[in-house]
Structure 1
Amino acid sequence: MTFLDFGAPIAGAPDNVLRTDLSRRVYQALQKRKDFEFVAIRSLAAEKSPSDVLIVDALSDGVPSKNDLGIKYRERLALVFPHDKWQRPDVRILRKGFPVTPHQNENLDGGPRSICLTEESWELARCRWTATNYLNDILYWLERAARRELHSEDQPLEELFFLAPAELILPASWGTNAARNRLAIAHSRQTGDGRFVYFAETVEKHPAAPPADLLVIQTALVPNPMLELPPRDLGDLSEWLGERGVDLRVSIDAFLRSKFEGHTFSHAPHQRAFVLLVEIPIARDSSERAEEVRRKAFFIGQDFISVGLIMGFIDNFENTLVLNSMRKGNKLLADEWKSIRVAPIEVHHRLTAETAQSHSGHYDRLRRGVIVGLGSLGSSISMNLIRGGFADWTFIDHDHIKPHNLVRHQAFGSQVGVPKSEIMAAMANDVIEGSAAPIVQRVTESNLAEGLVEFEGKELIIDATAGVEFSLAYSRSETGSRACSVFLSPNADYSVLLGESLARDVRLSELEAQFYRALIQNKDLADFSQLPGGRIRTGGSCRDHSMVMSGADVNLHAALLSSQILRFSSNPEARIRIWKNDRETGATQCLKVQPSDARQSTTGSFTMRWDSKLEETLQSLRESDLPNETGGILIGLLDLVAQEIRIVEALPAPPDSAKSPGTFQRGLDG
């Protein structure tokens, strides 16, 4: 067997030449083990990471003697211990011809490959690191590698290259867009660690941005991809693509033909960047269909005209660039193109609704919704839903941002004076492109009736306004979309969700009446309407005031309501839920109120509305008074415009009331 030379020889006693505590501990452990043989001590003088190196032979009884990968019972390794204690110890493979397996890493120093022993961060692993466990992990890795058991079925397939020094963010629709070669680098920014992030858009969207010429190549299926060092030049890239069924010269030739078709170019230096995007179908083994398609990009060190000239595919004929009809390339420059530098770029797509939903753990998709009221609560809920992948929303609000709104609203100071619906739609579309559209309008019963606001065909209407006007108006509309109403108590201790049934046979106005009954009946809700410390004047008008309420309180309830809205939307039943937050402990208590079926009767021009629960209460009062006449107190709501009387609760008659089979006279006690 032949081995890679790694590290510089160093003379002296181990206790004198080993600089790190970990290397000394491992050296001492090696003296007591029969499954490792110590070979030599070496050192790495790397500028950023000087290290102690122990050369050893690992003798693994667990490696099958005839494993198909060719891993040996005896394997030579370099155990690397950086002098910087915050860097993880490394294990390098020294035998030439050691097979490529999962969980091996190429190294940027160009040295032997490393093996990956654990997924834990070194900050955590070092707290329980021992020399014995470290050596045992090495043997375990060799045994599992030989048995092809390193990569568990539920583990994502490995990335193809190391972390690139730059990132390219593609539009969410990239890959389905017909104009795949029309891409512009719209802008870039530098991260805190010195990496560059480039943001690409289609030329049609950013016509003023200098476009980057993009060549898209798809490779053959890559089974169980390994980590690899990125290609440094076109020669490396050509070799890598060739191993995966792609001839880079042929691809560039075809690309040049498409560029020259119907166009002429001068010999002047081309100003556009040349980007190569490689699409790589990957699977766990060669017998499977592609599990996913990964994309890797490279900035080419020359524009496509220069590349074509160097490769000999383009000729300069009387100051006009023409295609070389012989297509044989320039023999004098036969290999010069291979040295053209390439810079790897890590590729990402802008966030899509599907990706957001997957990362959020949501599986029931809510689409085509409307949020009415983009104040403090509505703005928080809207962003929670958008970030959860629930897209295609219409945001409706007539108001604009005022300075005091910034205490609780999602908006920023630079957006004061901008309509709330436009702000939230812009923020939503910045997270997921095309996820929201704004309407700056007050929703009233008249414009509902005239169809000026479109609610038909939506899956859910969310009323997050601070009043009851919309819920009452919408309850009288005959649109087919169910609605829910969410709001907070004045002191922000409570939050409430009222949700219509899918068939809309129980509507918001009826649920609101039943909610009021719960406030009357349940002593635990006695402080629901308690006002906070006061109101703050925000203007000269009598209506210009704001409740004392913190943004933290709003966000707390908004998070809970966002989750409950999603649960409600997947259930066809009507719902009344009330949550109370204990400010001392942070605990949240939920009160469930069972919605009742609606009842109504028309007398003259007035419609009287009640529900089945009220009927049961009235029936109970009547039965308890038989055979005497029954009296009591009805509590309800009167709407003279809609000519509706909504009965909420029935209370028994005062105890001093006079009752007989033929008469009833209400008393005064109580």
Structure 2
Amino acid sequence: MSIDYVEFGQAMPGLDPKNIQHPEARNLLAACLCHPDFEVIELRKLEINTYSRADVIVVDCCDGTIPSRNSVGIRNRERLALFYCSGFPHEVRALRRDFPVTLHQNHILSGEPASLCLYFEPWSAVERDWTPQRHLERILWWLRETALGTLHRSDQPLEYLYFTPPYDIVLPPNFLEKTATDGQLLSFFPIQCPGTKPRIIWGDFIQDSLVKKYNLPFGDFLVISPQPLNHGPVQRHPQTLGEFHDQFKERGSEIIGDIKAALRNKVTSAGIEKQTDVSTLLLVITSVRRAPDQPPERSETQAFFIHADIATIGIASGALIDGRNGKFYVDYSIGETESAEKNKWQDFVIEPIGVKIAVTPEFSRNASDVLSEKAQFRGVLAGVGALGSVLADFWAREGWGEWTYVDDDYVFPHNVVRHIARNEHIGRSKVETVRDLTNGIYYPGQISNIAIHAKISDRSNERLAEMLTSADLIVDATTTLEVPRDLSVQESAPRTASVFLTPSGHGSVLLIEDHEKSVPLHALESQYYRAVLNAMWGANHLKGHAGELWVGAGCRDISAVISYELVQLHGSMLARQLRKLAAKDESQMRVWELDDASGTLTSYNLPVSKVIIEQHGKWCVVWDNDLRDKFFAMRAHSLPNETGGIILGYFDQKLKMLHLVDALPAPSDSESSVNGFTRGTKGLREDHEECLRRTAHVVDYVGEWHSHPRGVTACASELDMDLIAHLSTMMAQAGLPAIMIIVGENSIKIQIGEADIL
């Protein structure tokens, strides 16, 4: 019995390698001539276009290990065309016309020989260690494994129904709902690419009145969901609707009944008219099962353009009848009618098109490894400058939360250097710009971030107050001192976090309250400063930036010199870590420091101490257990003598808060005995200046502390009262109260004195 082969290319005389244009193909020919399992039959050439030609080596591949009666239909002698053209990967075509359609074949045009999919990796990776000899062994492997039915493992994901089509259409996430909405047409918008044909088409549902008003391109559409298909090889795309129906029938499903039902549902009692130059997009939502007795494992959507309108398809399929009045109606008669042009539907030419669905927040969460149950909340982002806008962009692309952006600033020309805004946004409100850019990541309506152009501290803004009260999380990215302090004392405010870059841009900080807000943000701030004072990384943590740029004539029209690289670097880390830490209940403090020379970003996890809040007259004193323990430890170290030193902290005059940050031990020239203590001064000026330098002049001297000997309480003596009076007079010169702390046997007493010097 003769074998029918596909003619592929134009034959060339003999086997002379000189007839081969490409040296790569000549090397492959040499390998074939040396290989015992490959017999070279002839050489051919294939004109690709005016400028390029492919070399084709026709061989018989003989492999005696292939079972002669395998169920797949692979023979132990197969005629192949080894195809090569410069700029393309090596390709192998099976020339036998009845070569079986199997798994792992490439898409081909109608009438072409089957193309074997030999490699799982892209050619750019394969060519790194590709040799002609290995290529021939890969061909033998493919044929053998395919014949044995082991090329596609049982635990491997199911193959898709068809090879990759040449075009894709992008549809809205809710396209099924849109197809059921009256008065909307499916419009097509090819995305133009210079120098090439459009590869992607946007498909969107638009009100029919707008489509007609602006003469937008549109088409009809049908949606069907056939019975589940049985898993099988990837198939070549059908050329006609009848071929498509037969392919589905072979795999346990039929489509013509579903198409007729969809046509009948599409047409109302008013009937429809025929439309010229209109195609119909057939959307086929298919589920695939591994075997007939198993449940479906995957769902996929196929699409085909049928080059006919709804009325024409309906008449040809028998779903509609001609009303003889220019309209066509649903045929409700039983059985076949005379008006049905029987089997005409099978001849409709169809064109495959891939279906892509516009991204949804749910898809983004899955792609970003974000748990949905941790991502569905309302947040308020205060401050959408350089850092805030980057955080907003990251979280929107991850589908983490829906946000209200709050800021009263505008986009100025210099902002575009470090902001997600573009030149066209100059002059617009920053919050509106960030809202539009983040909402625009998705199809309209998928997320609804809100913009409020106001200061976060604006108590008169009713909408802002409502958003703050209803939010689950507030993130402060204003890089100010006042905002996190004010937010943390608002009883109605939810859990709050604060993030900022250090002045140089080489460091970043994250502070987040616990769920119960037992350690408020203002208390975390003071504990953060203590870490800055005592840690090695704190020496240059708040060191100034690389310089300043004047961006206007005003005294505040100044911008720091920090690269956008640093904003992105720290912004990505802050975005990720805040997202992860927000899922935990406890308070957290994190600091990152960049070694610019090596690119190393080092993280420091700062301990959080239980906060102590005491009211002393009009002043609220905020400190913590770690500082209390330090006082006791310094007292114990000096026993039986008394000891003491200075207290470091800061005042917030608006909130009437005194934050105790740290306490220094006694200077080396201090006088200490069992009955008294006189603080010295040696090294104190340097320590004080270092404190100011490390904390950017936030933390300062606020008072004195001393201890009492064994068996003595922390109650103030007459000498202590004289001391607090003296300190009060001294501190009053700066308009501040004085603080004195006495450390006793089992207790610590805080004394605050204020002198009236006016």
Give the alignment partner of residue 534 of structure 1, picking from 542, 547, 554. Answer: 547
Give the alignment partner of residue 399 of structure 2, picking from 389, 394, 399. Answer: 389
Gaps of 5+ in 1: none
1:385-420 deviations in whole A, cap 9, x for unaligned?
Answer: 222232422222222211111110000111122222
- In structure 2, give the amino acid aligned to 1:224: H
Greater RCO, CA 8 A, separation 6+: 1
* Deviation, structure 1 residue 78: 1.4
Mean Cα displacement is larger for which, 585-594 or 308-317?
A: 308-317
Equivalent position of 1:218 in the other structure? 225
Equivalent position of 2:416 in the other structure? 406
Equivalent position of 2:354 in the other structure? 346
Equivalent position of 2:142 in the other structure? 141
Mean Cα displacement is larger for which, 34-43 or 471-480?
A: 34-43
- 1:367/1:332 Cα in 2 relative to 1: closer, same or farther (>3 Å)? closer
Give the alignment partner of residue 44 of structure 1, picking from 43, 46, 50. Answer: 46
- 1:161/1:190 Cα in 2 relative to 1: closer, same or farther (>3 Å)? farther
Give the alignment partner of residue 579 of structure 1, picking from 585, 592, 597. Answer: 592
1:275 and 2:299 correspond: no
1:614-639 deviations in whole A, cap 9, x for unaligned?
Answer: 11211122112323333211111212
The question of whether the paired residues in 2 share the 8 Å contact of 1:174 and 1:180 is answered with no
Mean Cα displacement is larger for which, 539-548 or 489-498?
A: 539-548
* Deviation, structure 1 residue 491: 1.2
* Deviation, structure 1 residue 454: 2.5
The question of whether the paired residues in 2 share the 8 Å contact of 1:370 and 1:458 is answered with yes
Measured in 2, the distance between the counterparts of 1:188 and 1:39 equals 46
1:55 and 2:58 correspond: yes
Give the alignment partner of residue 525 of structure 2, picking from 484, 508, 512. Answer: 512
The residue correspondences of 1:87-486 to structure 2 (distance < 5 A) are 87-108=88-109, 110-152=111-153, 155-175=156-176, 179=180, 182=184, 184-185=186-187, 187-192=189-194, 193-203=196-206, 212-244=219-251, 248-266=255-273, 269=275, 274-309=280-315, 313-324=320-331, 328=336, 334=342, 337-363=345-371, 365-368=374-377, 369-432=379-442, 433-434=446-447, 436-444=449-457, 446=459, 452-456=465-469, 458-479=471-492, 481-486=494-499
Q: What secondary structure sits across from 1:503 in the alignment?
A: coil
Q: Equivalent pairs: percent with the same residue?
A: 30
1:606-658 deviations in whole A, cap 9, x for unaligned?
Answer: 22110111112111221123233332111112122222111011112333333
- 1:448/1:646 Cα in 2 relative to 1: closer, same or farther (>3 Å)? farther
Q: What secondary structure sits across from 1:399 in the alignment?
A: coil
- 1:453/1:628 Cα in 2 relative to 1: closer, same or farther (>3 Å)? farther
* Deviation, structure 1 residue 519: 1.6
1:318-344 deviations in whole A, cap 9, x for unaligned?
Answer: 444444565746679545544443332
- 1:471/1:651 Cα in 2 relative to 1: closer, same or farther (>3 Å)? same
Mean Cα displacement is larger for which, 571-580 or 360-369?
A: 360-369
In the alignment of these two chains, the number of paired residues is 667
* Deviation, structure 1 residue 442: 1.7
Measured in 2, the distance between the counterparts of 1:91 and 1:106 equals 13
- In structure 1, give the amino acid aligned to 2:241: L
Mean Cα displacement is larger for which, 119-128 or 584-593?
A: 119-128
Measured in 2, the distance between the counterparts of 1:250 and 1:222 equals 15
- In structure 2, give the amino acid aligned to 1:33: H
Give the alignment partner of residue 654 of structure 1, picking from 667, 671, 690. Answer: 667
- In structure 1, give the amino acid aligned to 2:652: D
Mean Cα displacement is larger for which, 357-366 or 402-411?
A: 357-366
- 1:435/1:228 Cα in 2 relative to 1: closer, same or farther (>3 Å)? farther
- In structure 2, give the amino acid aligned to 1:420: K
Q: What secondary structure sits across from 2:420 in the alignment?
A: coil
The question of whether the paired residues in 1 share the 8 Å contact of 2:260 and 2:317 is answered with no
* Deviation, structure 1 residue 315: 1.0
1:565-618 deviations in whole A, cap 9, x for unaligned?
Answer: 233223333222211112222221222211111111112232211011111211
The question of whether the paired residues in 1 share the 8 Å contact of 2:248 and 2:254 is answered with yes
Equivalent position of 1:637 in the other structure? 650
The question of whether the paired residues in 2 share the 8 Å contact of 1:447 and 1:453 is answered with no
Gaps of 5+ in 2: 684-758
- 1:21/1:240 Cα in 2 relative to 1: closer, same or farther (>3 Å)? same
1:467-523 deviations in whole A, cap 9, x for unaligned?
Answer: 122211221123473222110111111111112223322221111111111221224
- In structure 1, give the amino acid aligned to 2:361: A
Equivalent position of 2:710 in the other structure? none
- In structure 2, give the amino acid aligned to 1:255: A
1:422-481 deviations in whole A, cap 9, x for unaligned?
Answer: 222221222133152322222227469997143456453221112122211221123473
* Deviation, structure 1 residue 290: 2.0
Q: What secondary structure sits across from 1:380 in the alignment?
A: helix
TM-score by length of 1: 0.90
Query: Larger radius of gyration, structure 1 or 2?
Result: 2
1:120-162 deviations in whole A, cap 9, x for unaligned?
Answer: 3334433432222111111111222123222246654433333
The question of whether the paired residues in 1 share the 8 Å contact of 2:59 and 2:79 is answered with yes
